[in-house]
Amino acid sequence: MKTIKAKLATGMVTIMLLMMAAVGVAVAADSITGTITAKGDMIVLDAADGSYVLEGNDMAPDMVGKTVKVTGTVTEKEDVKVINVLSMEEVKE
């Protein structure tokens, strides 16, 4: 009986942690609109609140010069804002 209770408790804790992680990921994503520029070998989003270096797989260089909405996780590394890109879409004006 103790084994069943222990497995049940472990399962419930695991489910709660997974739910908390999923909510945390959803809250952490930011959407920022700006213009894509190339600065050296970096792709940068110039937005109203500053510039963000783009990282990740979705850094389409063909978007340079276009206004886009970038969704991703923003961090700061050595006083530089960095956004790990989850998605990017062109904003049609």
Q: Look up tokens 């879409």; give the residue.
A: 89
**Residue pLDDT, tens place only, 27-56:** 468 899 999 999 888 899 999 999 999 998
Total structural domains within the chain: 1
What pLDDT is attached to residue 37? Answer: 94
Q: How far apart are CA 1 and CA 7, in angstroms?
A: 10
Q: Tell whether 55 is covered by a domain.
A: yes
Q: Tell whether 78 is covered by a domain.
A: yes
Q: Tell whether 36 is covered by a domain.
A: yes
Residue 25 pLDDT exceeds 50: no
Task: Tell me how far apart the 2 most distant CA atoms of the chain are, in Å.
Answer: 65
Is 33 in a helix, a strand, or coil?
A: strand
Q: Tell whether 49 is covered by a domain.
A: yes
Q: Tell whether 37 is covered by a domain.
A: yes
What pLDDT is attached to residue 26? Answer: 47
**What is the span of the domain harbouring residue 49?**
29-90
